[in-house]
């Protein structure tokens, strides 16, 4: 697979070269390269979590949208983290700080970096609209140069991190009650409960610590609904996962054999 980090590095170098030309007409090429570098860094993070990323999100190209999905999987991927290691003199007892060897600190690309700069750089890559021309908000090369330099500083810091894509994975897994596929969910440190989705059928579960050591409980999220076939006095009940509760979803009732579907309805809250 493509080495996104080295792609980001080369896009960053290209951006610097465009800026060094000191030609306003070349600034937009610097902005374009910086956007590519940001994309590459976001995709690099996605690669780290690829096993937990729903397949359909592999098509997500907008870095901001992608980062939000990744943060849902692991909120720690945006945090600055350091790695140290040390030998336990006694099994299970962490070594003293003085016996730890420091490996380095990772400065990751963050959602905030992307939100602040990705679209702002993009706004210089298009022809101004009639509305912008009316408001005289035409490209300001001085501002663009300033922003490019700011983004270069951020990317240099990220790309010079001696350790990167740290992946501390504390997770739990079960067999999906709906389709039998294995669902794995990270349990980020500090969170009592998280939602988990089956990558096959999208069924949703709530995973929470039970309070007993590191045991967790998986509870399907959804609702029981009754068969609406009152004529046949059908008593069949179904569990619908949260993602299935939407108009148009249909199934065959096992009790009376009727086709049942979810539709819109209006109800009186109180009579006038």
- Interface residues with Zn ion (CB under 5 A) are 176, 178-179, 181, 198, 200-201, 203, 227, 229, 234, 236, 253, 255-256
CA–CA separation, 197 vs 54, rounded Å? 9
Rounded least distance, CB 227 to Zn ion, Å: 3
Could you tell me the smallest distance in angstroms from the CB atom of residue 212 to Zn ion?
27
Q: Which is nearer to Zn ion, 36 or 253 (CB)?
A: 253
Residue 117 or 186 with smaller CB distance to Zn ion: 186
Question: Least Å distance between CB 239 and Zn ion?
Answer: 13
Between 7 and 217, name the residue whose CB sits nearer to Zn ion: 217
Q: Closest approach of Cβ 158 to Zn ion, in Å?
A: 36
β partners of residue 237? 226
User: Which CB sits closer to Zn ion, 54 or 86?
Assistant: 54
Helix (H, G, I), strand (E, B) or coil at 11: helix
Our CB check for Zn ion shows the closer of 114 and 199 to be: 199
> Measuring CA to CA, which residue among 207, 232, 226, 227 is closest to residue 218?
207
As measured in angstroms, the least distance from the Cβ of 55 to Zn ion is 13
151 φ, ψ (degrees, to nearest 5): -65, -40
Residue recorded with tokens 């409980």: 217
Q: How far is the CB of 232 from Zn ion (least distance, A)?
A: 6
Q: Buried b / exposed e across 91-118, counting CB within 10 Å, b at 16+?
A: eeeeeeeeeeeeeeebbbbbbebbeebb
Residue closer to Zn ion, measured from CB, 7 or 236? 236
Handedness of CA 84, 86, 90, 96 (dihedral sign): negative
- Please name which of 75, 76, 104, 85 lies closest in space to residue 164, comparing C-alpha atoms: 104
CA separation for the pair 247, 260 (Å, rounded): 11
Q: Which residue, 8 or 199, is less far from Zn ion as judged by CB?
A: 199
Task: Work out how close the CB of 171 gets to Zn ion at its nearest, in angstroms, rounded to a whole number.
Answer: 17
Could you please report the per-residue DSSP string of 112-151?
HHHHHHHHHHHTTSSPPPHHHHHTT----HHHHHHHHHHH
């Amino acid at each position: 697979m493509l080495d996104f980090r080295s792609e980001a590095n080369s896009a960053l170098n290209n951006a610097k070269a465009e800026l060094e030309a000191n030609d306003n007409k070349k600034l937009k090429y610097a902005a374009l390269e910086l956007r590519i570098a940001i994309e590459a860094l976001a995709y690099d993070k996605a690669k780290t979590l690829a096993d937990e990323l729903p397949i359909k999100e592999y098509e997500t190209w907008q870095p901001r949208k992608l980062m939000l999905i990744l943060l849902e999987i692991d909120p720690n991927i945006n945090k600055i983290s350091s790695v140290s290691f040390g030998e336990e003199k006694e099994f299970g007892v962490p070594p003293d700080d003085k016996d730890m060897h420091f490996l380095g600190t990772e400065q990751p690309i963050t959602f905030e970096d992307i939100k602040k700069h990705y679209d702002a750089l993009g706004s210089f890559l298009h022809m101004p609209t009639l509305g912008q021309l009316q408001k005289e908000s035409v490209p300001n090369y001085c501002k663009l140069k300033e922003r490019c330099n700011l983004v270069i500083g951020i990317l240099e810091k990220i790309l010079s991190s001696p350790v990167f894509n740290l992946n501390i994975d504390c997770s739990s897994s079960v067999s999906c009650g709906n389709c039998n596929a294995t669902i794995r969910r990270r349990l980020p440190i500090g969170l009592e409960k998280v939602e988990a989705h089956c990558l096959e059928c999208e069924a949703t579960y709530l995973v929470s610590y039970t309070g007993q050591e590191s045991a967790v409980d998986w509870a399907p999220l959804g609702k029981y609904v009754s068969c609406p076939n009152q004529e046949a006095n059908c008593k069949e009940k179904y569990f619908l996962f949260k993602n299935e509760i939407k108009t148009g979803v249909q199934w065959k009732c096992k009790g009376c054999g009727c086709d049942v579907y979810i539709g819109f309805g209006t109800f009186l809250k109180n009579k006038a």
